[in-house]
Amino acid sequence: MRFGFAMPQEGNADARAFSREQKAGALLAFRVRALGCLVIGLTLLLRASGEALAFYLGMLGLLVLTGWLFYQSTRTRWSAWRRTMRWARFTLVAADMAIITAALIVPAPGTPEAWPHAMQLRLGNVGFLFLFLAFSGLTYSPGLALWAGFAAGGAWLFGVMWILGEGESFTRGAGDFAAMEIDAIIATLLDPNYVSVIAAAQEALLLLLVGAVIASAVWRGRRQALRQIGAARERATLARYFSPDLAAELTQGAAGLEELKVREATILFADIFGFTRLAEAMTPEETIAFLREFHALATAEVFANRGTLNKFIGDEVMASFGAIHPMDRAPAAALVCAAGIARRVSDWSEARVERGLPPVRVGIGVHFGKVVVGNIGDSRCLELAVLGDVVNIASRLQERTREESAAIVASIDVLEAAGRDAPVLAPLLAAFTPLPGESVRGKLGAVRCAALPSAADFFSVH
């Protein structure tokens, strides 16, 4: 168990994220404390007045101040001050318990002289120590929580011992009670000057044990927070290489991906016409920048339509809709995505021409049917693959866009499924022209398809 308020490892991303969580916890603790002090202050208006009211309100004001100082101590950005601030927080916790104990033990100004000091212990106010002890659970610091239990128990015992030294206060031990008659025991317990050290010790022990329980809970919560921070960092890292749904699946573990699954999905391939010729006129750095621009606009459209980006193959993009997770209206989403990519590339090409660069055209193939989804590779290197005849046909349809000089070539299966699921796409579907012939290279049997010459007049509908 790591005690204190220190970050896991200063300087790394997890440490900075955890530091933000600690500051948020300290701010929450201060706000809850301030609210609690306000509620207590309002109840005091009904129970006290004059000097006594001023005394207790002053104590509450000190507790609000120490809470504010505690929060401010978590905000320092100077590494040289962090150790000092850590010790300052421990000091502030001890000061809290001392202030509360003083408010409970010391008779308020204006209390009659005849009031026995020992009667302060009969008012049942020790619960306020437990209340402020609970605030330590919001600090994400098990060390502070445990220290708060020690400080509360120690302050309470010190206050009891102080009362024993005041006025006519006295105590009796277990042996004394064993030698006394019942009437004498009752008389002793009812004596306003009697102080039960045994009860005080039990209360101090309970404060310590509660502090230990809170420290254990904070330690567990701290570990959970660190795991969540790590998982968030992993998801953010994976999201740079995979689509959001695939990144979430990988973060949760690959166990669910080991088993091969057969699903109905729509597959999309997008490829740049004449990329080899374009790349010959560019430096390697310009080629990478070019591909990044294309991948960025294609990725944005895929994600906007709830698709999964499966892979980049040079200048080619493969995306699936409904393969990783079942998806309603996948064919419609894939067609909208295809039109959106074509439109984005058209705009990008116009911008390039204005800068004196060669234009860019893209060919997109879309097909729909059953695919197999699962991990391939070995234990050292795995790839989540989407396989099947549907994938091969979608790739072949993308190749056929060159033969037809079309922006999109989609199978009739996709168009019919999209028409059933999304009637709003009727104008887009009507723009497709059926292609002659019913075969695709490498495919035995008939695959009817249609082409969209240009997507310049169609925008994505999300």
Any idea what the CATH number is for the domain that residue 280 is in? 3.30.70.1230
**Strands 381-387, 316-321: parallel, antiparallel or unpaired by DSSP?**
unpaired
Rounded distance, CA 457 to CA 407, Å? 12
Rounded distance, CA 376 to CA 384, Å? 6
> Residues 154, 201: contact at Cβ < 8 Å?
no
Q: Of 78, 63, 80, 79, whose CA–CA distance to 29 is shortest?
A: 63
Tokens representing 148 are: 């708060």
Tokens representing 257 are: 């991906």
Structural domain ending residue among the three candidates 220, 239, 258: 239
pLDDT at 442: 52
Using the structure block, give the residue that is written with the tokens 């008659």: 181
Residue 29 falls inside a structural domain: yes
pLDDT at 455: 63
270 and 226 in one domain?
A: no
Q: Of 344, 324, 334, whose CA–CA distance to 244 is shortest?
A: 324
pLDDT at 1: 40
Number of domains the chain contains: 2
157 and 289 in one domain?
A: no
pLDDT at 77: 61
Low-confidence stretches of the chain (pLDDT < 70) are 1-18, 76-82, 229, 231-259, 377-383, 437-445, 455-462
Residue 459 falls inside a structural domain: no
Secondary structure element (H or E) that encloses residue 34, with its range: helix 13-47
Structural domain ending residue among the three candidates 239, 274, 309: 239
Tokens representing 380 are: 């050292």
Tokens representing 151 are: 């400080």
For the chain, percent helix, then strand, then coil, each to nearest 5?
60, 15, 25
Rounded distance, CA 28 to CA 177, Å? 48
Rg for the chain (alpha carbons), in Å? 36
Residue 400 falls inside a structural domain: yes
159 and 85 in one domain?
A: yes
324 and 220 in one domain?
A: no
Domain that holds residue 258: 244-452
Residue 461 falls inside a structural domain: no
> Residues 29, 67: contact at Cβ < 8 Å?
yes
Using the structure block, give the residue that is written with the tokens 């705009």: 347
What is the per-residue pLDDT across 90-105, written as a single tens digit (0 to 9) for each?
A: 899 999 999 999 988 8
60 and 26 in one domain?
A: yes
The strand pairing partners of 364, in sequence order, are 270, 408
221 and 317 in one domain?
A: no
Rounded distance, CA 133 to CA 127, Å? 10
229 and 284 in one domain?
A: no
Residue 6 falls inside a structural domain: no
